[in-house]
Amino acid sequence: MTSSQPAEIKAEIMAMPSWLRRSIGKASEISTVQRIIKQRQIHTICEEGRCPNRGECYAQKTATFLLMGPTCTRACAFCQVDKGHAPMPLDPEEAQKVAEAVQLLGLRYVVLTSVARDDLPDQGASHFVQTMTTIRQLNPDTQIEVLTPDFWGGVGASETTQRQRLAMIVQAQPACFNHNIETVRRLTGPVRRGAKYDRSLRVLAIVKELDATIPTKSGLMLGHGETVEEVITTMKDLRAVGCDRITIGQYMRPSLDHLPVQKYWTPAEFDQLGKIAWEMGFTHVRSAPLVRSSYHAGE
């Protein structure tokens, strides 16, 4: 860190509007979760991404586990998760460790997400299924939502291989299938390196083609310079592929190495976008500055 960076960080924090500053929650609830996951050497996106809502979610018996290690093979310019071309080998005991953590924490609703693992033959799809199966063995009443990457990568990547990977997870019957589009078409290149706007839409379309009864969900992260019109167009594109649920929240820069915030959208603007989303036919809408992908997922 250079000598000028602390001043930049302080200036950015001071510029953050008041509605983005909130209590993180009860320290006791957070420390209990941290202790259990650290003892098992597993990860949650709540902690890795420093989610501002993690205390609230833990209190509501909800958490989001980050599978397949803390290192992602892609380098999205907004994401807090570590990047690297040589992630750790998969932990063969991870599914059991996560299932035990779910049991100890008494979680009623679990979201399973993962880093992108373009180095694996099936991009980690079978690992999702194994973890879902093991959680259910110990916690038969716990609902499981998945928040997946696009499963497009590796040698010979095609829509056929992508569909096969998605089918594995769809057959395991998640309570909801979430894949985030993150931003508008124009900004996908600089914001989501390695991802494609239409490819993400196709993920959601394929899930509906495989099983129309599974609710699908996607999320938008505002603050990269998108316009209201572009956000509305993105919501229309999501509805066109049958996406049922949507989350809309504010991007907050994790560090000076990440993209700067272009705009802090106001709570009133989020409310208006949420109203538009309901009118479009989304069945579950969460639109507010601090909303994240798994916010109130258990509802």
Domain boundary assignment for the chain: 24-218
pLDDT in tens, 94-106: 999 999 999 998 9
State the Cα–Cα distance between residues 118 and 289, nearest whole angstrom: 31
pTM of the model as a whole: 0.88
Which helix (DSSP H) or strand (DSSP E) does residue 67 occupy? strand 62-67
Lowest mean pLDDT among 7-21, 88-102, 271-285: 7-21
Kindly indicate the confidence band of residue 1, based on its pLDDT and cuts at 50, 70 and 90: very low
132 versus 299: the higher-pLDDT residue is: 132
pLDDT at 161: 92
Q: Which of 100, 110, 114 is nearest to 57 (CA)?
A: 110
24-218 in CATH: which number? 3.20.20.70
Taking 70 as the threshold, does the pLDDT of residue 7 lie above it?
A: no
Could you tell me how many residues make up the chain? 299
The answer to whether residue 280 scores a pLDDT higher than 90 is yes
pLDDT digits (tens, 9 = 90+) for 15-74: 789 888 765 555 566 677 778 877 888 887 776 666 676 777 777 777 789 898 876 656
More confident residue, 62 or 259: 259
Q: State both tokens at 203.
A: 């993920």
Span of 75-84, 92-101, 232-241, 248-257 with lowest mean pLDDT: 75-84
DSSP 131-168: HHHHHHHH-TT-EEEEE------STT--HHHHHHHHHH
Tell me if residue 64 falls in helix, strand or coil: strand
Where residue 155 falls among pLDDT bands split at 50, 70, 90?
low
Q: For 171-195, what is the mean pLDDT? A: 94
Please state the φ and ψ torsions of residue 268, each to the nearest 5 degrees. -65, -40
- The stretch 156-180 carries a mean pLDDT of 94
Q: How confident is the model at residue 208 (pLDDT cuts 50, 70, 90)?
A: very high
Both tokens of residue 258? Answer: 């990440």
Tens digit of each residue's pLDDT (9 = 90 or more) over 239-252: 999 999 999 999 98
Query: From residue 201, how far is each of 180, 181, 185, 230 by CA, in Å?
Result: 9, 7, 11, 15
Q: Which tops the pLDDT comparison, 294 or 136?
A: 136
Q: How many CA atoms lie within 13 A of 68 on its CB side?
A: 26
Task: Count other C-beta atoms under 10 Å from residue 279's C-beta.
Answer: 10
Percent pLDDT > 70 in the chain is 81
User: Of 253, 243, 256, 233, whose CA–CA distance to 283 is shortest?
Assistant: 243
Residue 281 has pLDDT above 90, yes or no: yes
Closest CA to 152 of 117, 179, 113, 190: 117
Mean pLDDT of 135-147: 97
